[in-house]
Structure 1
Amino acid sequence: MFGVSVLAEIAAIILLWRLEPVYDTLLYVLFNLATAGAGAVIAWRRPGNPIGWLFLGFGLLNTLASDLSHGWGLRAAAEGWPGGPVGEGIAAVSWLPSGYGWTLTFLLFPTGRLPGRRWRAVPWLGAAGLVVSMSAWTLSPERGRDFVSGRNPIAVAGLPTGLLLAIGMPLFLGALLAAVVSLAIRFRRSEGLERQQLKWFVLAAVVAAVALPTSFALWYVSPAAGVIAAVALTGLPLAAVAAILRYRLYDVDLVISRTVGYAGLTVLLVASYAIVTVALGAFLGRGSGWTVAVATLVCAVLFRPLRARIQGAVDRRFNRSRYDALHRMGAFLDDVRAGRRLPEDVEVLLREILADPTLELLVFLPETHRYADLTGVSRDGLTGDGRQRIAIERGDQQIGVVLCDATSPLGPELVRRVLEHGGLAVEIARLRAELNLQLTEVKASRARIVAAANAERRRMERDLHDGAQQRLVSIGLALRHAQHQLGSPGGAVTAGAGPGGADIAAVRATLDGAVAEAAVAIGELRELARGLPPAQLDAGLGPACAELARRAPLPVSVRMPDRRFDSGVEAAVYFICCEGLTNAVKHASATRVDLIAAHRREHLVVRVVDDGVGGAAPRNGTGLTGLADRVAALGGSFRVQSRPGAGTTLVAELPCGS
């Protein structure tokens, strides 16, 4: 049907070319194609909605009965072709079926169903008025002005066409008026999504309601009447498509308020210009250039304050949700500045403004590149819950995101406007959330450090008590026994056995046992000292890491600076290399490891890179978590880059001075 409409319009343009003003031809072609095209889109996307098929049917009817028939009639009259008066007659009466199409559209929009049972009679009354009016209009001798010849060739003399029009037109126009009333009633009773849809169509219908009577009154007076009607009617199918298919894409409340606001501003400025011109013209003369200049200056001065006042008044009446939202956000900012409310309350305010108790405001933390709620708790998995995601940005900087109900009648533009208006509160809340997260991490890190220190102290105490201490006690007892074997203090020692003496062999055995126990105690003390900084660090990071590489069961490359650093920094680097190398051997199935350190801008940057299976992540109680705590205690940062199948890289930045 749309394809037939396009072909018919092309033929109509060819027939009408140079027989009437080009703008008149093209405007009505645009209107008919917009109607048929809108119907095609709606019928394709919403085949169960009769609005699309109405637009398709009446768009095709207008194309054939209005444009193509009109073109044939004018071209036949100019070229002497047959059937010219028939085409002119069809074109002259085609506006009546088109008007009935809008009656049905107003009654059925947007759901495709009548507002109620009592409206069932309206389409039938309109159809009856249509038939009677078309008959009278077609057969009336007064319609000669619609023909090139100035005479209606099918007029019936003596037919009471005036009486028929007096009967048919009230029924036809009454049905159209009743359909407009039904649309107004439906709009008044609507809410939620249906109200958003109706706002688009009602806006276009109000424009048409003003333009079409004006066009009808000027139809035989000015050529502008046809232009006014075509432009006003073209807006109706376009608004219908936006209302049915894209009602969430644009902020219709903003369109309405801006339209009414600028219309009122234009009227006031024109009135001001006229008053100033008349007043000054009485003193300076109508042709004075000073009159025009002063009037223009007055309008320029009044523009900004008038626009602000008119827009505020219009928003309070036509865009109440936007006005209330911005007004409440402004009051909230005043409370934040005065210390009466916390910046984190902006999330509660947004929930109240949007009437969405599930709304969440998450802020972006640039240091960790993660999102967190306003308490500083990190959040992952922001998609997949069915809610719409509205990004908050300031310039190129990402501030946060709002997760809200996707079915909310308030569009994302209103949310962005409110967030832009309250950007100060959001930014302060983001900074406070980042600070809370850092404080939480510091507390957790300190708790882990204290717990690890206590556990290590208890382990060393237990090992000393159960191991080295018992060995030393045993050595003391053995030495005491040897003393008794040698006799009383000061006694002489003689070879062999004898009174007051001792068996030299037994004494030697006792001393040998004491020496063995001492060797075991020394070994145990070495085991206890294994967690302390290694002796290799006495020579620097390079030799210590080279020793690690020599003991490793896989190829390890070492690149370390030659200079020395603080002992705490060197110990941290050594343990990072130890942990990374251990993980690469035990868990990552790596074939190669690189130990790299470089001095950059008062920081020592350490990287441990392996080509293993990846997928490593710090977890509570793991060696990576301990490394993060150790680095944080020195004021540095620690990151783990480990995608599955892409190896693992440990990166630590430690402050080390110049």
Structure 2
Amino acid sequence: MRGRRPLPAVLFGVTVVAEIAAIALSWRLEPVYDTLLYAAIGVTTVGAGALIARRHPENAIGWLFCGFGLLNALAADLAQGWGLRAAAEGWAGGPVGEGISAVSWLPSGFGWTLTFLLFPTGQLPSRRWRPLPWIAAAGLVLSMVAWSLSPARGRDFSSGHNPWAVESLPTGALLAIGMPLFLGALIGAVVSLAVRFRRSTGLERQQLKWFVLAASVAGVALPTAFLLWYVTPVAGVIAALALSGLPLAAGAAILRYRLYDIDLFISRTVAYAGLTVLLISAYAVVTVALGAFLGRGSAWTTAIATLVCAVLFRPLRGRIQDAVDRRFNRARYDALQRMAGFLEDVRSGRRAPEDVEAVLREILGDPGLDLLVFLPESRRYVDLAGTTRADADGRHRIAIERGDQPIGVVLYDGTGGIGPDLLRRVVEDGGLAVEVARLRAELNVQLVEVKASRARIVAAGHAERRRIERDLHDGAQQRLVSIGLALRHAQHQLGAAPPADVRVTLDGAVAEATVAIGELRELARGLPPAQLDAGLAPACQELARRAPLPVSVRMPDQRFDTGIEAAAYFICCEGLTNAVKHANATRVDLIADQDLERLVVRVVDDGVGGAAARRGTGLTGLADRVAALGGTFHIQSRPGTGTTLVAELPCGS
């Protein structure tokens, strides 16, 4: 394998030298376009073959291109140039060069027969195609003998007659046998290519699309050039362009089949060809119709016909493109139609804009595709749920922008069934849904930040209340109790019959201390009780023991976050207070159950009902507290049926 590596470059270099020599020999002895175009064919063919052979030396296509491309450069171009120059300058060997050049197209055709049979893998489609190369070889030999020795080939020589002709040889019969074999094998090779294309999938089908397009063009151009070869010089140009396209398409298919969107190229080519035909027809019809009234040479006829074509261009283009995509580029048509259908569902409210990510995954066939949206205030990318994500993780990336402002980015692994150009078009078509999804994601992020801020405020307030409670209990309240005890001790020390004014003063001081202690207890009301240090269940059981009516308690024994336990306790406190003061209830149930990641707290009484959260009431404060923790709060209280307070608090798993 190592010995082969420099060989493609050597073959290409020999071809370039041969073509330069051919151009120098043929210059000004034939049309310039003929000289340059056929030199370009040789260089293009061997160049594509050399690249393929170097990248994929196991693929026979590259070596085929190098072989018959070099043969074409030597036998067709260089030999023809020698023959022309020899005839003009009187050099020796002119008829030899002309004879070789005249028959050189047959080996080139045999090379293309093998190419059609082996493309793109370098292997035959199946065992049943094995006889075809031998049939082509037999036809090649017979046709070359007949073509080179036929007296009728005098037009290929500058002298007007074939010096190698053999009058006694039945060249006509040989040509009648060999040419059908040769052309039949070529047609069979084209059929094998069509069969391979029909059965192909995935990578091979993508490669074949390139070559089939070029082969289809050549399949029309080459027979046309063959029929017009001795009629018009345009035939040579047609053949040269068609033959140049084949190696270019083959090289692109094998080496860079994903670089361009071949489906788009095919559909656009067919669409614009059809559009051109229709516009020319419309122009002709309008010109003929108006010419009957305004005169055939009237400037008004030309102007009106041109205006009609200009008006028809855009609507016709859209309709023809849709029809072509529906027939020849189904993947593109289906992708665009699915996105258009999704946008219609979004406008009608049947689907949410955030579903655009799922739609893109379905269209691309990539379940791992991610759509990230850009938040301009924080200058970061987030997913549609609002989670911060990196906008570059090694996958393919398609940026979504409005003007110079980034909107989002699509990240995908590139293994789906459509190309990046089509994906970009689909993403651009879905830009409205992406923009709405971005705004909603931004709103969700802000709501999360607001909830987190409210939770922090509640936690800070709770911590501050606990501090105040400790300060009151351990500080001022204890001092007042101590003062009261000291005053009673002083009263005792005065004896059994202290002066009346002293006794009154001491009794008043003790009473004031007692009042102060009561006021401090009132100030501390609403603060989490000390029982919460042992858990929610003990705190609620203590609450039930102090209640003036029967209260049942059913609470989980496990511990929760301090803020969650405090909120649940205050819900029970407020519900019990309302049941006693306003509902005339005879029984209250305090219930808490853990449901997955939520703590559901219920306070149920059998009172008069009719409770509602009004501004400034305790129930409103409970709703705010629960909302700050990311939970929900509901009141079920129809008149005469009692009241049920239900709070769902997030508590983790």
TM-score where L is the length of structure 1: 0.70
Q: 2:436 — aligned with what?
A: 428
Q: 1:655 — aligned with what?
A: none
Q: CA 1:479/1:109 → structure 2, altered by over 3 Å: closer, same or farther?
A: farther
Q: 1:107 — aligned with what?
A: 117
SS at match of 1:378: coil
Matches within 5 A, 1:551-562: none
Q: 1:304 aligns with which of 299, 314, 322?
A: 314
Cα offset for 1:77? 0.9
Cα offset for 1:211? 1.0
Q: 2:140 aligns with which of 119, 130, 149?
A: 130
Tell me the distance in 1 between the aligned counterparts of 2:486 and 2:86. 136
Cα offset for 1:126? 1.0
Tell me the distance in 2 between the aligned counterparts of 1:346 and 1:217. 55
Tell me the distance in 1 between the aligned counterparts of 2:424 and 2:179. 50
Q: 1:198 — aligned with what?
A: 208
Letter in 1 for 2:238: I
Q: CA 1:469/1:82 → structure 2, altered by over 3 Å: closer, same or farther?
A: farther
> What is the CA deviation profile of residues 172-203 of structure 1, one whole-angstrom value per residue up to 9, with x for unaligned ones?
11111111111111111122222221111111
Matched, 1:179 2:189: yes
SS at match of 1:377: coil
Q: 1:251 — aligned with what?
A: 261
Whether the aligned pair in 2 keeps the contact of 1:28 and 1:230 (CA below 8 Å) is yes
Matched, 1:116 2:126: yes
Q: 1:169 — aligned with what?
A: 179
Cα offset for 1:425? 0.7
Q: 1:67 — aligned with what?
A: 77
Whether the aligned pair in 1 keeps the contact of 2:210 and 2:262 (CA below 8 Å) is yes
Q: CA 1:100/1:483 → structure 2, altered by over 3 Å: closer, same or farther?
A: farther
SS at match of 1:157: coil
Q: CA 1:468/1:43 → structure 2, altered by over 3 Å: closer, same or farther?
A: farther
Tell me the distance in 2 between the aligned counterparts of 1:323 and 1:182. 28
Q: 2:47 — aligned with what?
A: 37
Q: 2:375 — aligned with what?
A: 365
5+ long unaligned stretches in structure 2: 1-10, 500-627, 629-653
Matches within 5 A, 1:480-519: none
> What is the CA deviation profile of residues 219-269 of structure 1, one whole-angstrom value per residue up to 9, with x for unaligned ones?
000000000111111111111122112222211111111100111111222
Q: CA 1:326/1:464 → structure 2, altered by over 3 Å: closer, same or farther?
A: same
Cα offset for 1:436? 1.0
Further displaced range: 288-297 or 256-265: 288-297
Cα offset for 1:383? 1.0
Letter in 2 for 1:134: M
> What is the CA deviation profile of residues 396-448 of structure 1, one whole-angstrom value per residue up to 9, with x for unaligned ones?
12111222232223101111101111111110011111111221222123223
Tell me the distance in 1 between the aligned counterparts of 2:391 and 2:264. 33
Matched, 1:10 2:20: yes
5+ long unaligned stretches in structure 1: 492-632, 634-658
Matched, 1:215 2:225: yes
Q: 1:345 — aligned with what?
A: 355
Matched, 1:451 2:444: no
Whether the aligned pair in 2 keeps the contact of 1:69 and 1:90 (CA below 8 Å) is yes
Tell me the distance in 1 between the aligned counterparts of 2:479 and 2:74. 113
Matched, 1:401 2:409: yes
Q: 1:23 — aligned with what?
A: 33
Whether the aligned pair in 2 keeps the contact of 1:248 and 1:409 (CA below 8 Å) is no
Q: 2:607 — aligned with what?
A: none
Q: CA 1:463/1:29 → structure 2, altered by over 3 Å: closer, same or farther?
A: farther
Cα offset for 1:461? 2.8
Tell me the distance in 2 between the aligned counterparts of 1:467 and 1:246. 83
Letter in 2 for 1:407: T
SS at match of 1:418: helix
Identity of aligned residues (%): 78
Q: CA 1:290/1:470 → structure 2, altered by over 3 Å: closer, same or farther?
A: closer
Q: 2:445 aligns with which of 437, 451, 456?
A: 437
Further displaced range: 130-139 or 45-54: 45-54
> What is the CA deviation profile of residues 524-581 of structure 1, one whole-angstrom value per residue up to 9, with x for unaligned ones?
xxxxxxxxxxxxxxxxxxxxxxxxxxxxxxxxxxxxxxxxxxxxxxxxxxxxxxxxxx
Q: 2:560 — aligned with what?
A: none
Matched, 1:295 2:301: no
Q: 1:52 — aligned with what?
A: 62
Letter in 1 for 2:462: N
SS at match of 2:173: helix
Matched, 1:153 2:158: no
Q: CA 1:248/1:487 → structure 2, altered by over 3 Å: closer, same or farther?
A: farther
Q: 2:329 — aligned with what?
A: 319
Tell me the distance in 2 between the aligned counterparts of 1:476 and 1:204. 108
Aligned residues: 491
Cα offset for 1:55? 1.4
Q: CA 1:149/1:286 → structure 2, altered by over 3 Å: closer, same or farther?
A: farther
SS at match of 1:399: strand
Cα offset for 1:389? 2.1
Cα offset for 1:486? 7.4
TM-score where L is the length of structure 2: 0.71
Letter in 1 for 2:405: Q
